[in-house]
Structure 1
């Protein structure tokens, strides 16, 4: 009976050894963001596995609310990759001959969204096998900033700080002194692996160059810090100088504002005076125009007078015309007197007048 049972077990082990199996065990892989992750999946088949070969990779995202996603598929001697948009163009089979037993893949340019459990399924009827690989994407420390929080003066308390811009936890810190005596002060030793070092009652011996290195499981980064502990400054003089400088600046600003205001008032006054029209000043007289108008009006009235009072009117006219204005009036060119026939004068209403003749000595003939 025992011999029969041993034979059955051996046959079962032999059958199991001949079935399709995936060689690599389940494992965890950690990679840095931006790197390439190699996910292994090597398999063997038995003589009984005569069906077509199908290989399928699935991703179970870290967010449990999202369903499993097919990321790459091999079926019918063809490869299909356009299943998962977040990994499009970044997932590939590592082997050119998948049927040889290597279904491993590479995921390039890793992102935090790639974190999850990847499952490799191999089917070749009647054999079926699958294995899982957990991928963790970490961010290397980068953008480390070292600075001093406080005044670097003798006797003061301040802090040395080391802050990374990004980096996946857990982070490890390490401070070192690079210049002068490379021995760190004893009071700093408990904080040599922390992001902040508290300095108490600083002395000039603390001066020097320090480095802070930040590490995690996928990388590290470093920054440098120069510490110069100096004697206390004259704070009273500094404050007084600041106050005096502020007052001078205020006085200067006040003078500028006053000058601008005064200039605007002067310009406004000049504009008002320039556009002001004085109503009490009469317009200038035109003597020439007055004389011409006067003479013209009298000539008009002369035409309506009779010959009998012509002589008296001419004397009156001569006495009324201002000599100065008359002399200054522009002289018109002298025209020869027009000759009018006697019949025409009669028709015009003229009255003949006898003018006595005079001799050479001026006596009337």
Structure 2
């Protein structure tokens, strides 16, 4: 019974091969794969051929999302020899060669994301390559965002809070919130895929406080913070009070000038009076009896 089953499978394989005109076939059991950055992933690629595998040639290439027009070679199996690209050395290898072209990729990076092609050639069976494709997405949590503010922090001014993140797949969602005295979400406008800003107009003392930016995707959330201190100018006095203050200030200035002039005037008179007194005392001849007697001798 087991022999009959194997014979039927062999017959089916031969008929399929004959229907395909002897062409080598490549099958990808997955068309899309996802892997968390830093983890390992196996990219499946199986093929069918009726020729000996002594001249088997397998090439894996990558067209990265960042530069799809320039695919790069990842790893090659050629006549029993394995060669990998310098950028993948130590991170890539075959798992079942020569019976399978499955490739394992270790320590995945965001730059590994893109479209992978598995190309198999096994002369002399056919001169055409068997080709299969799959898309690999490398997921990563958001990196630590960068927060900053710009604008006028005086009463009535306008402030812009901006937040940007360098990494994250899927693309992180940006949110802004005021944290105290209670958490209040703020409307966010996106500036590209990886940054967002919140606009605060007509700021006042109530605007002061701690603000938080959150960058989130399915793999995690990261935060950064901005502390705003709004400068409040004192209220301007009313017109009447302002006039009274101005009048009082001028009166005080005039009074001070009057006192200064009076003091200078009195100081000048006292000085002249003392000078005259000193002069009179100097010119006066003292009268003594002895002096009179000698004058008549």
Task: State the TM bucket, normalised to the shorter chain.
Answer: 0.5 to 0.7
RMSD, aligned α-carbons: 4.4
- Flag the 1:100–1:61 CA change in 2: closer, same or farther, 3 A: closer
Instruction: Supply the distance in 2 between the matched residues of 1:217 and 1:74 (Cα, whole angstroms).
Output: 41
Cα deviations by residue, 1:212-254 (Å, 9 ceiling, x for unpaired)? 12356887532122233353379xxxxxxxxxxxxxxxxxxxx
Aligned to 1:104: 103
Matched, 1:81 2:80: no
Structure 1: which 5+ residue stretches go unaligned? 1-10, 235-365
Question: If the length of structure 2 is used for normalisation, what is the TM-score?
Answer: 0.52
Q: Residue 56 and residue 232 in structure 1: after superposition, are their counterparts in 2 closer, same or farther (change >3 A)?
A: farther
Q: Provide the residue aligned with 2:290 in structure 1.
A: none
Partner of 1:223: 224
Conservation of the 8 A alpha-carbon contact between 2:188 and 2:196: no
Query: Partners in 2 of 1:179 and 1:65 — Cα distance?
Result: 50
Closer, same or farther in 2 for the Cα pair 1:153/1:170, shift >3 Å? same
Checking the alignment, whether the CA contact within 8 Å between 2:58 and 2:101 is kept in structure 1 is no
* Residues 1:38 and 2:32 are matched in the alignment: no
TM-score norm. by structure 1 comes to: 0.44
1:15-41: CA deviations, max 9, x gaps?
A: 228987544356345667x63563522
Greater relative contact order: 1 or 2 (C-alpha under 8 angstroms, separation 6 or more)?
2
Deviates more, 1:49-58 or 1:161-170: 161-170
CA displacement 1:190-232 (0-9 Å, x = unmatched)? 6499722121111333333322123568875321222333533
Match of 2:292 in 1: none
Instruction: Please tell me whether the aligned partners of residues 179 and 210 of structure 2 are also in contact (alpha carbons under 8 angstroms).
Output: yes
- Decide whether aligned partners of structure 1 residues 64 and 172 sit closer, same or farther in structure 2, where only a CA change above 3 A counts: closer
Contact 1:91–1:108, Cα closer than 8 Å, also in 2: no
**Matched residue SS, 1:81:** strand
Q: Give the whole-Å Cα distance in 2 for the aligned partners of 1:59 and 1:75.
A: 18
Partner residue, 2:204: 203
Displacement of 1:69: 3.1
Task: Tell me what 2:16 maps to.
Answer: 16
Contact 1:49/1:124 (CA < 8 Å) preserved in 2? no
Alpha-carbon distance in 2 for matches of 1:86, 1:65: 18
Where do residues 159-174 of structure 1 align in structure 2 (5 Å cutoff)? 159-165=160-166, 172-174=173-175
Aligned-partner Cα distance in 2 for 1:154–1:14: 85
Between structure 1 and structure 2, the one with the greater Rg is 1
Partner Cα separation in structure 2 for residue 195 and residue 220 of structure 1 = 15
Distance 1:213 1:74, change over 3 A: farther
Q: C-alpha deviations, 1:167-211, integer Å up to 9, x for none?
A: 689653212333322234xxx436499722121111333333322
Instruction: Show structure 2 runs of 5+ residues with no match.
Output: 1-10, 236-297
Find the counterpart in structure 1 of residue 117 from structure 2. Answer: 119
Distance 1:69 1:163, change over 3 A: closer
> How many equivalent pairs are there?
212
CA distance in 2, matches of 1:41, 1:171: 30
Work out the CA distance in 1 between the residues paired with 2:110 and 2:170.
16
C-alpha distance in 2 between matches for 1:201 and 1:75: 74
Counterpart of 1:57 in structure 2 is 59
Distance 1:92 1:178, change over 3 A: farther
